[in-house]
């Protein structure tokens, strides 16, 4: 079994920092040994990684990605191969992607289809959530089979009527079914019925530019849908996880439910922390690069989101990585913003953008690791295999240089998309080395991974349920 010693670094965990060395044996962490004056223990290994001056982190876990997702008449541009490679460049060692049930198809056939897309193609480990878009007796029964197959989180949509939308009654039925096994329902909480009316009014009035995507999806309609989802989950006694929360109205609803002791959790994404409605309003159709749902909000929402991350009303930061190229894909919506495929790239830069939040004083170092790795692992049944640097855990480890400077750009990123949402942004901090189950995927700034190294993760239940 090959061994690697990571020596001289500062381990950052969700509970603090510690100057310690890590011995990796095969795919697992064998020993974490604190360096103390007077204590002289020598460890030898096949390979020595000198992490002096660097952080040593548990690999990032991005629980919201969409590789090769069918959407808006096209497919998101990253395959499992290109997307997981890009993730590793940014220090993410696990993704949880969404299998997408098409109307009229079964959940189990959908799961098989997503296994066929991912198996043998991923550079890092992966799991699946299931998008339920067709609630009927068969689907409801199949939810149990999904859970037995290691997929125990089900995303539903209050948005996109005619595509993924589910009625309140359908949502209640699915929540009742999930609740029987302790599974989690994940909710895209926007009032799609009201939004569709606003969209039709805007198009009829000739307001067709990308900024209208944001203006027709007001934050109040995210707040309203979030509150409704919370009430439905309360009635069904079902754990609820609000995905890609963007608006302070929605955050207030989540905070209230959590104060009341309900099993309600939420994530936000870097785009809502850093980008705004102003980006959607960029001229010459450039705003299309920023079309995602929920939309980017006016800047005032950002402070509330950072505060929510500190207070744990927002527990996780994921990316909702769903890239569409500007050319030929985003361009499908020239002259009609409602035809722009919804989604933005981001899987590569989540750890960096959150570290930038640490540098800016928005988050502490341990909170960075907690929202990007440890809590996602616990929330989606991967802990302690993932999300922690401890003996016995998978050796998913990132060596991070907190002093490196980098400029985000499409010219240098590794995602299979022709633009960067953060083009030209200068940040401090960069991944040096990423290990996935003990194997280097990124090795001192060079790709060293292999397609097919990543394995499917059968996940347990949410570990935060009260």
**Residues of the shown chain interacting with ligand URP in the complex, contacts defined by CB under 6 A:** 66, 188, 244, 292-293, 320, 322, 342-343
Stretch that binds Zn ion, among 126-134, 187-195, 216-224, 255-263 (CB under 5 A): 187-195
HEC-encoded secondary structure of 50-66: ECCCCEEEECEEEEEEC
Residue with smaller CB distance to ligand URP, 57 or 322: 322
> In this chain, which of 78, 279, 313, 320 binds Zn ion, going by CB under 5 A?
320
Cis peptide leading into residue 316 (ω within 30°): no
- 292 contact, one of Zn ion, ligand URP, none, CB 5-8 Å limit per kind: ligand URP
Shortest Cβ 342–ligand URP spacing (Å): 3
- 153: its two tokens: 């989180």
Shortest Cβ 31–Zn ion spacing (Å): 38
Cis peptide leading into residue 294 (ω within 30°): yes
Shortest Cβ 227–Zn ion spacing (Å): 17
Greatest CA separation for the chain: 76
Shortest Cβ 243–Zn ion spacing (Å): 5
Give the span between the Cα atoms of 392 and 31, in whole angstroms.
Answer: 8
Give the span between the Cα atoms of 302 and 153, in whole angstroms.
Answer: 28
CB closest to ligand URP, residue no: 342
- 343 contact, one of Zn ion, ligand URP, none, CB 5-8 Å limit per kind: ligand URP
Shortest Cβ 340–ligand URP spacing (Å): 10
Nearest Cα to Cα of residue 392 among 458, 444, 438, 455: 438
Neighbours of 335 (CB within 10 A): 10
Residue with smaller CB distance to ligand URP, 274 or 447: 274
Long-range Cβ pairs for the range 42-47 (8 Å, 24+): 43/5, 44/3, 44/5, 45/3, 45/4, 45/5, 46/2, 46/3, 46/4, 47/2, 47/3, 47/4, 47/5
Give the span between the Cα atoms of 220 and 197, in whole angstroms.
Answer: 15
Residue with smaller CB distance to Zn ion, 222 or 394: 222
Stretch that binds Zn ion, among 7-15, 52-60, 320-328, 332-340 (CB under 5 A): 320-328
Stretch that binds Zn ion, among 43-51, 115-123, 180-188, 360-368 (CB under 5 A): 180-188
Q: Residue holding tokens 């960067």?
A: 420
190 near Zn ion, judged by CB under 5 A: no
Shortest Cβ 229–Zn ion spacing (Å): 12
Q: Are 10 and 56 in contact (CB under 8 A)?
A: yes
Stretch that binds Zn ion, among 186-194, 409-417, 419-427, 441-449 (CB under 5 A): 186-194
Residue with smaller CB distance to ligand URP, 79 or 176: 79
Residue with smaller CB distance to Zn ion, 142 or 320: 320
188 near Zn ion, judged by CB under 5 A: yes
Q: Are 441 and 434 in contact (CB under 8 A)?
A: yes
396 near Zn ion, judged by CB under 5 A: no
Containing 87, the helix (H) or strand (E) segment is helix 80-89
Residue with smaller CB distance to ligand URP, 337 or 368: 337
Q: Which residues bind Zn ion (CB under 5 A)?
A: 188, 320
């Amino acid at each position: 079994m090959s061994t690697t010693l990571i020596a001289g670094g500062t381990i950052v965990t969700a509970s603090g920092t510690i100057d310690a060395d890590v011995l990796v044996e095969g795919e697992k962490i064998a020993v974490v040994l604190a360096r103390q004056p007077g204590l002289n223990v020598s460890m030898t290994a096949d390979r020595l990684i000198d992490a002096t001056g660097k952080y040593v982190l548990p690999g990032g876990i991005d629980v919201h990605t969409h590789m090769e997702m069918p959407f808006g008449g096209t497919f998101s541009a990253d395959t499992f191969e290109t997307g997981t490679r890009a993730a590793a460049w940014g220090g993410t060692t696990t993704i949880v992607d969404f299998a997408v049930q098409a109307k009229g198809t079964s959940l189990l056939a959908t799961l098989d289809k997503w296994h066929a897309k991912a198996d043998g193609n991923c550079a890092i480990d992966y799991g699946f959530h299931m998008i339920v878009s067709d609630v009927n007796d068969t689907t409801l029964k199949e939810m149990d089979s999904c859970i037995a197959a290691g997929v125990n989180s089900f995303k539903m949509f209050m948005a996109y009527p005619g595509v993924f939308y589910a009625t309140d009654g359908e949502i209640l039925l699915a929540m009742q079914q999930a609740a029987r096994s302790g599974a989690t329902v994940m909710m895209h909480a926007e009032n799609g019925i009201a939004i569709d009316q606003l969209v039709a009014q805007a198009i009829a009035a000739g307001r067709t530019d990308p900024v209208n995507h944001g203006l027709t999806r007001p934050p109040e309609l995210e707040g309203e849908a979030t509150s409704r989802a919370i009430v439905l989950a309360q009635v069904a006694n079902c754990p609820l996880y609000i995905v890609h929360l963007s608006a302070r109205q929605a955050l207030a609803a989540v905070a209230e439910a959590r104060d009341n002791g309900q099993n309600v959790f939420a994530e936000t994404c870097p785009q809502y922390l850093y980008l705004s409605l102003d980006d959607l309003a960029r001229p010459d159709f450039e705003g299309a690069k920023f079309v995602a749902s929920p939309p980017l909000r006016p800047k005032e929402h950002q402070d509330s989101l950072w505060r929510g991350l500190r207070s744990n009303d927002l527990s996780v930061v994921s990316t909702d990585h769903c890239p569409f190229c500007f050319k030929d894909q985003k361009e499908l919506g020239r002259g009609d913003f409602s035809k722009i495929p919804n989604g933005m790239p981001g899987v590569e830069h989540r750890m960096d953008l959150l570290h930038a939040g640490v540098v800016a004083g928005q988050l502490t170092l341990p909170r960075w690791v907690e929202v990007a790795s440890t809590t996602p692992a616990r929330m989606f049944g991967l802990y302690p295999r993932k999300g922690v640097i401890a003996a016995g855990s998978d050796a998913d480890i990132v060596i991070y240089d907190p002093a490196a400077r980098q400029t985000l750009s499409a010219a240098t990123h590794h995602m299979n998309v022709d633009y960067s949402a953060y083009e030209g942004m200068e940040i401090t901090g960069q991944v040096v080395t990423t290990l996935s189950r003990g194997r280097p995927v990124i090795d001192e700034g060079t790709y060293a991974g292999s397609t097919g190294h990543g394995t499917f993760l059968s996940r347990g239940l949410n570990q935060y349920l009260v």
